[in-house]
Amino acid sequence: MASFLLRQQAYRAQAVNHGAGMQQKPDILDHISTGVIALDAQLRLTAINSAAEVLLEASATRVMGAHASLLVLQAEELLETLKHARSTRATLARRGMLLTTHGGQEVQIDLIVTAIQGEQADSLVLELIPVDRLQRISREESMLHAQETTRAVIRGLAHEIKNPLGGVRGAAQLLAKELPNEELAEYTRIIIREADRLRDLVDRLLGPNQRLAIEPVNIHEIIEHVRNLIAAEVNNAATIKRDYDPSLPQLPVDRAQLIQAVLNIMRNALQAASSPEACTILLRTRSQRQFTIGGHRHRLVCRVDIIDNGPGIPAEIQQAIFVPMVTGRPDGTGLGLSIAQSIVNRHGGLLECASEPGNTRFTLYLPMEQSHAETR
C-alpha cells in the first residue's frame, strides 16, 4: 500500500511539474493508464496525458489552456468538486461520477482531485479512473481462458475423430478394389467423400494452424480488399460506409489471415440481414492508447469497428458467439466467427462483440507492435 501511495504522489508531482513547464521527459505521463489532468489556479488545463485524451475524447491541442468547464458536457458536478478542492486545499474523491464527452459518450469514473500548493499559485491534479476498466479486463481474461479451454477440448476431440476416420477411409479404398460390381463401388465412394468432408470440418474447427507470415501492412488496404469482395458478392446491393483514420501506421500482421478474419465478420453481417439491399455496414478505424489485452498493456493499438444494422444477435447466444458450432441461423455452420477470433488472438489481439436490434458491433483490437503476435 505504501508503494502505491508513493507512486501516486510521484505522478501527481510529475503532472504539476509538466504543466508548469519544467524540463521533464514530455511523454512520461503517457505511460500511465490512469487519466491525469493538471489545472492551474483558474482551472485552466495545463497538462493532459494520453489516457485522459482517450477517456474524454479530447485532443491535447484542442483543450490545452481551456477552462475545465469545457472538457465535458454538463460539467456542473465536476466544477463543484474542483472548486471545493481548490478552496479547502484537500484531496477529494468522488466515486462513480458520470461524465458526458463532447462526442456524446457517457463514461463513469472515480475522480481524485489533489490540491498542490505552489510557490506562486495553487494547482489541481485530477486522476480519472474508468469504473469499467477493471471489469472489462476481468471479463476479457475470463473470456480468453474460456476460449483456450474450448480450443484444448476441440484439439482433443479432433485427434480422437481423425485417427479412426483415416482407418475408415483406408478400409473403404481397399474394399472398392475388391468389389466386382461398379454399382457397389459407388457406396465406397460415398464413404470416402463423407470421410473427407468430416475431416475438412474437423480441420475448420481447429482453425488456421499455419505459421503467421508477419509483415508491415496498411490496415485500410486489408479492409478495402474485403469491402470490394463483399461488394462483388452482392453486386453492390449492400451499403458500406467508411470512416477511416488516415494517420494509422502500418501494422505487423499476416495479411492473408487478417483478410479472412475481416471477411468472416462482414459476411456474418451480410447473412444476418433480411436482404443485401437492407444491409448497411460501417467500417471505422481508430488508434487507442494505453489498452490492455490479455494482461499486457499496449501503448498503442489499432481499433477496427465493423458495425451493421441487422436484427442483432439473440441474447441467449451472445456470450457464446465465438464458440465453434454456435450460430443464430438455421443454415449457419457456427465456424466463421470462431475462426476470426482465433486469427485475431494469434496476432496478440482481441475481438469483442456488442449487439442489440439494429446495431451489432464487432471490434478488433490489434497491437501496433509484434512482440505478442504468435509466429509459430
Tens-digit pLDDT profile for residues 293-303: 876 778 889 99
- Pairing relationship of beta strands 214-217 and 296-308 according to DSSP bridges: unpaired
Alpha-carbon gap, residue 253 to 266, rounded angstroms: 19
List, for the chain, all residue ranges whose pLDDT scores fall below the cut of 70: 1-27, 119-121, 132-148, 150-151, 154-155, 204-209, 295, 325, 328-333, 370-376
Domain boundaries defined on the chain: 2-130, 136-206, 214-367
- The architecture that CATH gives domain 214-367 is 2-Layer Sandwich (3.30)
Tens-digit pLDDT profile for residues 316-347: 887 778 777 677 666 666 778 888 888 898 89
Q: What is the CATH number of domain 2-130?
A: 3.30.450.20
- pTM equals 0.62
pLDDT in the model for residue 172: 83
Number of C-beta neighbours around residue 300 at 10 A: 16
pLDDT in the model for residue 59: 83
Looking from the CA of 32 toward its CB, the CA atoms found within 13 Å total: 22
